[in-house]
Amino acid sequence: MSHFKEIQYNRPDASLWKQNFNNGLQLLKEATNEKDFTENFDNLNQLRVDFDARATICSIRHSIDTKDSFYENENLFFDETYPELQELIIDFQKTVLQSPFRTHLEKKLGKQYFIYAEESVKSFLPENVDELKEENKLSTRYNQIKAKAEIKYKDKIYNLSSIAELESSTDRETRKDSQELKWNFFETNAPDIEKIYGDLVGLRHKMAIKLGYKNYIELGYARMKRSDYNASMVATFRQQILEEVLPLCNELYQRQSKRLNIENMAYYDYSLMFLSGNPFPKGDESWMREKASQMYGELSKETDVFFQMMLTEGLMDLPSREGKMNGGYCTFIPGIQKPFIFSNFNNTSHDVTVLTHEAGHAFQCYQSRNLNYDCIWPTYEACEIHSMSMEFFTWPWMHLFFQEDTDKFLFEHLSAALLFLPYGCAVDEFQHEVYLHPEMSTEERNRIWRNIEKKYLPHRNYPAGSFLDKGGFWQKQSHIFSSPFYYIDYVLAQICAFQFWQRSKDSFPDAWTSYLHLCSLGGSASFLELVKEAGLDNPFEAGTVKKAMQPVIDFLKNIDDSKL
Ligand code: ZN
């Protein structure tokens, strides 16, 4: 392949596509033997690949520069067009599910393909197409509000990514001012953001009712293609976190307070881990690419091949820039069958974790790229095992990036992984409450968030009457808007990643072999089946959280953080 920048993009002709797909679908329905059926099945998937490839390239380019009006427009086209194609794709999946050649296809594709198809059939109704279009538009609008943030601090303009460097400054005033400015941005935009969310909740509830569900929760799970657990299992899992992890977090905050020499830490103090400053990578972006190249070169021959390809083919866009969408992601470009990594480097240690995290996703989908199109990725909780475990598999190379700060980084990384767990549960519980009571007003939603925050994050200390005190924090969490119920996935996966971390310390080659096997399975099995295949303990089972936490506790206890 040539460089990503050189890939030609042109808008697909939607009506021609529909016509071709319809014709193919007709042939599939009329197929009288296995050979014809398989051939038409492959042709239809090829049509999907062609369409999705262009949508993916467009979406990457739009996220790299949201100010580029060409791709902004193209992105709107896909937001509008995708829901219109959905009906045909569902018809295709129904045809496959009901086909007399299903057994033949099942032998070739495995049974998971059919589980995915069943979940998508369960979650679609042609009468919901307008709502789906509106849902896409609203998510895009939320992302654009955040991407266009311009926060002025001392004559310099920051965006929501680049401001993070100030937020963890060793100077308390800088931390306070920068975080106040950031939250002022959210407060100013709250009326728009809250309206977007209110509309999204209303739309989703309406779609669920039309499909015959009581509320959006069950539909949300079906859209996430979760086939082996339900909302009540998730609630029990959150309880495990509350019981086993929350006390540990409180201890960690006490240690932080001692390290920083601040008795009553304010909300803007948490992002500073060490009085001497947080660890940060000791070079610029191109230096980091070199270090990452050495790291993946030494880790395994598979990662070496993979990472060289990412570098030479321009499949990563790493630094933060004005107008760039927030956050980090990895996506897979169909057709060329290669991943793309997007991030917003901001000179913090997070640059390294985001790189190893997204590289974990990218490495996995590259390893499983030859599976059937619908089975390249598993469901999201399983995806996050690949990424979060990769963060740990790369620990032996962290000195390349952090040099004298390596111990600081390892302590910070592991603490952050642990401290994240209750936050992840809070975001999840909030969404269950919201979709259970779709009639709630914005004020009620904010109040519910604040109550949940007090339950899972009791240390958080906001000025009375402030935007955060009134429950505004959730408004910065994009998953709540664009991917409902995608958040507990990180918590489930972290419990699995801790197990890989421990195993990699016991025997790196054994743990890596198991990880490699997991990556190559891609989405060919369900979450719990994949967990089993990788030899991991099921996070839903009583006792798993406690067991997975023990080595983490031991490691953190044995570090004298007062010296860091
Ligand atoms: Zn991820």
pLDDT digits (tens, 9 = 90+) for 355-388: 999 999 999 999 999 999 999 999 999 999 999 9
Name the pLDDT band for 181 (thresholds 50, 70, 90): very high
Calpha distance 242→296 (Å, rounded): 36
Quote the ligand 1 centre to 421 CA distance (angstroms). 15
Instruction: Taking residues 306-317, report their average pLDDT.
Output: 98
Structure confidence at residue 1 (pLDDT):
62
Confidence of residue 2 (pLDDT cuts 50, 70, 90): confident
**Which region among 203-217, 313-327, 409-423, 511-525 has the lowest average model confidence (pLDDT)?**
313-327
pLDDT at 530: 98
Dump pLDDT digits (tens) for 433-478. 999 999 999 999 999 999 999 999 999 989 999 999 999 999 999 9
The rounded distance, in Å, linking the Cα atoms of 325 and 53 is 20
pLDDT of residue 555: 97
Instruction: Measure 105 CA to ligand 1 centroid, in angstroms.
Output: 31
- pLDDT tens for 489-507 read 999 999 999 999 999 999 9
Is the confidence at residue 349, as pLDDT, over 80? yes
What does the radius of gyration of the chain's CA atoms come to, in whole angstroms? 23
Residue pair 344/324 in contact (Cβ under 8 Å)? The answer is yes
Q: 312, 334, 249: which is closest to 56 by C-alpha?
A: 334
Mean pLDDT across the chain: 96
Integer Cα distance of 535 and 283 in angstroms:
38
CA of 460 to the centre of ligand 1 (A): 25
Amino acid letter, 287 = W
* 237, burial (CB in 10 Å: exposed 0-12, middle 13-18, buried 19+): buried
Name the residue ranges covered by the structural domains of the chain: 4-124
Residue 28 has pLDDT above 90, yes or no: yes
- With 0-12 / 13-18 / 19 or more C-beta atoms within 10 angstroms meaning exposed / middle / buried, residue 64 is middle
Q: What are phi and psi of 124, to 5 degrees?
A: -125, 140
**How far does residue 130's CA lie from ligand 1's centre (Å)?**
30
Q: What is the pLDDT confidence band of residue 216, given thresholds at 50, 70 and 90?
A: very high
Nearest-CA neighbor of 175 among 277, 253, 279? 277
> Is the model's pLDDT at 407 over the cut of 70?
yes
Q: Hey, what's the torsion of the CAs at 279, 282, 284, 290, to 10 degrees?
A: -120
Q: What is the 3 CA–ligand 1 centroid distance (Å)?
A: 24
> From ligand 1's centre to the CA of 187, what distance in Å?
28
> Which of the 8 DSSP states describes residue 537?
P
The pLDDT assigned to 326 comes to: 86
- Between the CA of 157 and the centroid of ligand 1 the distance, in Å, is 28
Q: Using the mean position of ligand 1's atoms as its centre, give its distance from the Cα of residue 357 in Å.
A: 6
Answer whether residue 131 shows pLDDT above 80.
yes
Neighbours of 173 (CB within 10 A): 9
From the CA of 494, how far away is ligand 1's center (Å)? 11
Tell me the per-residue pLDDT of 219-235, one tens digit each, with 9 for 90 and over: 999 999 999 999 999 99
Report the share of the chain in percent with pLDDT over 90: 96
Q: How far is the CA of 332 from the centre of ligand 1 (A)?
A: 13
